[in-house]
Amino acid sequence: MDHFLIDTHAHLYLPDFDVDRNETMQRSLELGVQMIMLPNIDRSSIGSMLDLARRFPHNCFPMMGLHPTSVRDNYLDEIETVKSELKNRPYYAIGETGIDLHWDTRYINKQCLAFEEQIKLALQYELPVVIHARKSFNEIFEVLEGFKNNTITGIFHAFSGDTSLAEKITGMGFKLGIGGIVTFKKSGLDEVIRNTDLKHIVLETDSPYLAPVPVRGKRNESSYLHYIAESVAHIKNTSAEEVAHITTQNALSVFNKLAV
Ligand SMILES: [Zn+2]
């Protein structure tokens, strides 16, 4: 494939890539993944994320946010850090944020409050939100309902729900972040993709997690994004080039602070 792809979600700054981060970037660029959006996790990840963004200023673009699984009793301190970061330098989205009730439900109230705070920041800084939703769609929608008179845009990252959930999300103006799960047999995502217009879809790897077939189970990296584009193309009965073209335009419209 010869074209311009955007990995809308990759944690290439994590220690998983310490041994070969430059080579990983090189492989991604060679396969057309020219822009990579870096979602933050919490205070501990900011330094390494910004290092990578500084080393590849034309390719790697940082987001600022607090990941729901990092929400603890001290979440207000973490939110303060997010606020001061947003004041101090440019970021391209609020993320990743959201609610995760798969691993731990003890902090459900704090997760909701942290998510709400971050949506306010997205509105204040006119940034899209990158949402992590795991066993938490009702809670997520409830928080978003409180902002229904505002135009919030963004992505439901690592989407793996059914068609009616996809319709609800795209009807609210959000994109579906489609990653390696689409290549897994029995994911059910093929039916969702068949029923969803490509204009609602952006591509992501979620590196180092969720590597697509045929590298499933390995460390994921942005150069594997083409497997996801090819899988979506196969389901839609179109070319990977067409999928790349449309999803890149979609990503550029969401991350509208990117200058191409
Ligand atoms: Zn992530």
Any idea where the domains of the chain sit in the sequence? 5-254
pLDDT in tens, 105-152: 999 999 999 999 999 999 999 999 999 999 999 999 999 999 988 999
Task: Measure the CA angle with vertex 31, ends 26 and 206; round to 5°.
Answer: 80
Res 103: pLDDT: 85
Residues 137 and 102: their CA atoms lie apart, in Å, by 12
Q: What is the pLDDT confidence band of residue 250, given thresholds at 50, 70 and 90? A: very high
Rounded to an integer, the average pLDDT of 7-17 is 98
pLDDT in tens, 235-246: 999 999 999 999
Contact 130, 6 (CB under 8 A): no
Residues 30 and 145: their CA atoms lie apart, in Å, by 42
Q: Which residues surround ligand 1, an ion (CB under 5 A)?
A: 39
Burial readout 180-210 (b: 16 or more C-beta within 10 A, e: otherwise) = bbbbbeeeebbebbeebebebbbbbbbbbbb
Q: What is the pLDDT confidence band of residue 3, given thresholds at 50, 70 and 90? A: confident
Instruction: Report how far ligand 1's centroid is from the alpha carbon of 131 (Å).
Output: 9
Work out the percent of the chain whose per-residue pLDDT is above 90.
95
Q: Which CATH number fits domain 5-254: 3.20.20.140, 3.40.50.300, 3.40.190.80, 1.20.1090.10?
A: 3.20.20.140
Instruction: Report how far ligand 1's centroid is from the alpha carbon of 56 (Å).
Output: 19
Q: Which residues on neighbouring strands pair with residue 207, listed in sequence order?
A: 10
Res 1: pLDDT: 52
Instruction: Report how far ligand 1's centroid is from the alpha carbon of 243 (Å).
Output: 22
Instruction: Report how far ligand 1's centroid is from the alpha carbon of 238 (Å).
Output: 28
Instruction: Report how far ligand 1's centroid is from the alpha carbon of 208 (Å).
Output: 9
pLDDT in tens, 160-186: 999 999 999 999 999 999 999 999 998
Cis peptide before 214, with omega less than 30 degrees from 0? yes
pLDDT in tens, 29-73: 999 999 999 999 999 999 999 999 999 999 999 999 999 999 999
Contact 122, 96 (CB under 8 A): no
Instruction: Report how far ligand 1's centroid is from the alpha carbon of 9 (Å).
Output: 6
What integer best gives the mean pLDDT of the chain?
97
Q: Which residues on neighbouring strands pair with residue 64, listed in sequence order?
A: 94
Instruction: Report how far ligand 1's centroid is from the alpha carbon of 95 (Å).
Output: 8
Instruction: Report how far ligand 1's centroid is from the alpha carbon of 198 (Å).
Output: 22
Instruction: Report how far ligand 1's centroid is from the alpha carbon of 39 (Å).
Output: 6
Instruction: Report how far ligand 1's centroid is from the alpha carbon of 197 (Å).
Output: 24
